[in-house]
Chains A and B, each alone.
Chain A
């Protein structure tokens, strides 16, 4: 749980910790109810675009609010392929990563000329554009009605294969996809390109002065973040089996922002924790429907005051208190 952007040789302990977490996640369906697993499936739906937001915001330093736009593009791509061509899930999923990334390129070329708030505004505008396209391109998207009875994920090489049906199966599929996505994010941020991205976040001019082709890496971060979002869209659309222009609603963007910022931006485990806590919290509060969003907002406010760097801070301080000696030693070596 070391700080923002630390990339070092001390990975043995995180790896061991990661294995433990993965093992318990794999065994979770033994004890968890299907309702709880369903909540985790929703967490994972939001985790995928959140990982992309984390790459662009946490590691490259640009706030993009276009994530759920690309999420929608990925969702529509995946749904249309499955509905019209009956393609297997792996192909739909792949296309749902590639198509948003391709859509992101022409959007990024003008947007990346902008900085700070102007860039943020531009990314908000993308979502409006995509929403409008999804509403008006009726022959493909069926407009406001959206696409319904999207086939469930079919796990097979081409034809036939196993169809994901139960919530436990969705849970395992999501777990696999999220683990792949986390591995991809770790690989990106630890590569030399990731080092340039962190440099851009820290100081763009200084990054250029050490030979960083800043425009290229900002573009790469934007395009890759769109691919992560599209991956989430694919998983989402085959889970709820419908998609309509409401997917571009700002409330989804807000959830992704809360997951990343509330969890811990610029860390790997922050958004993972954030996706579980904040989505689960929102679900748990359904016991009091009238007060639900009020309590949610209060908890969010308090947690921002208590842990400005995200919930990951809480976890890190708990770990430090539990193993003070080890924490100190790992700091020294």
Chain B
């Protein structure tokens, strides 16, 4: 059995500029496998752009991105998701609104159940059984995040907090290795925040899933993450134990200035 790679995600000299605007200046970062890493920084410090680079939504201007030993620089988003089981959430586009909660999860699970392109067009008994299995797993996950009663509700009719829970559940469908969460607690009530926090902890502990979390709610993040990285103007400003990082005078200054 191959040994688990120590590093889940590595960024080597990653830079991203949009015309004259430099969003990510130069970032070197190694995310340890099995950890929960918080990523904070003032608005416009390049956190989301860094996620975009890691997940193939944008191509970095320079630098390499590795998932474990694999260089994934320049890969398409879908390929990174399928092959590396690296998923992300988005701040705004959260769920497929026209689909039911269950269908959202089935859709997310399809990449594992239907690896081949042609197999997705099949509607025969094998395909139907796979979808049935996905529905069963969707049911378990909805139960776990406390949305079992919303199973057949349209995702667009759910509250924003419920949608975020659903989005979180959908990332668990295809057996993730790395999950990047972009502001998972923004705009939702404390009860649902706690529910998401509990689930992140459980998935991290039991499934060994690596998390990188961008969040402005520093109190929650300090408690949840094993490591905290601060980004400012596209560079890493501080990195280390969450409690130390938050007291770092440079970090305090960056936040006040930002």
Contact = CB atoms under 8 A, between A and B. Distances in A.
Interface string A208-251: 11111110100010000000000000000000000000000000
Contacts of B170: 210
A211 B90 contact: no
A191 B120 contact: yes
A163 interface: no
Contacts, number: 98
Nearest to B167: A206
Contacts of B66: none
A268 interface: no
Contact of B81 (A195, A208, A216): A208
A193 B96 CA distance: 15
A3 interface: yes
B121 A188 contact: yes
Contact of B93 (A6, A195, A203, A220): A203
A190 interface: yes
B103 A211 contact: no
Given A190-B123, A208-B76, A196 B55 contact: no
A210 B98 contact: no
A55 to B, nearest CB: 12
Interface residues of A, number: 31
Given A3-B98, A6-B100, A209 B121 contact: no
Which one of A207, A208, A209, A214 has the greatest number of beta carbons of chain B within 10 Å?
A209
Interface in B107-166: 107-108, 110-111, 113-114, 117, 119-123, 127, 131, 152, 154
B93 A206 contact: yes
On chain B, which size bracket covers the interface?
Answer: 35 or more
A210 B123 contact: no
Given A3-B98, A8-B100, A205-B57, A211 B111 contact: yes
A307 to B, nearest CB: 19
A202 B98 contact: yes
B148 to A, nearest CB: 15
B224 interface: no
A41 B81 CA distance: 47
B77 A205 contact: yes
A53 interface: no
A195 B110 contact: yes
Given A192-B110, A211-B82, A198 B98 contact: yes
B174 interface: yes
B99 interface: yes
Which one of B78, B110, B123 has the greatest number of beta carbons of chain A within 10 Å?
B78
B97 interface: yes
Contacts of B246: none
B120 A193 contact: yes
9 contacts: A192-B113, A192-B131, A199-B99, A202-B99, A205-B57, A209-B55, A210-B81, A210-B107, A210-B111
Given A3-B98, A203-B96, A211-B110, 6 more contacts: A6-B98, A191-B127, A192-B121, A196-B110, A209-B55, A210-B87
Closest 6 CB pairs of A and B: A211-B111, A193-B120, A208-B77, A192-B120, A211-B81, A202-B96
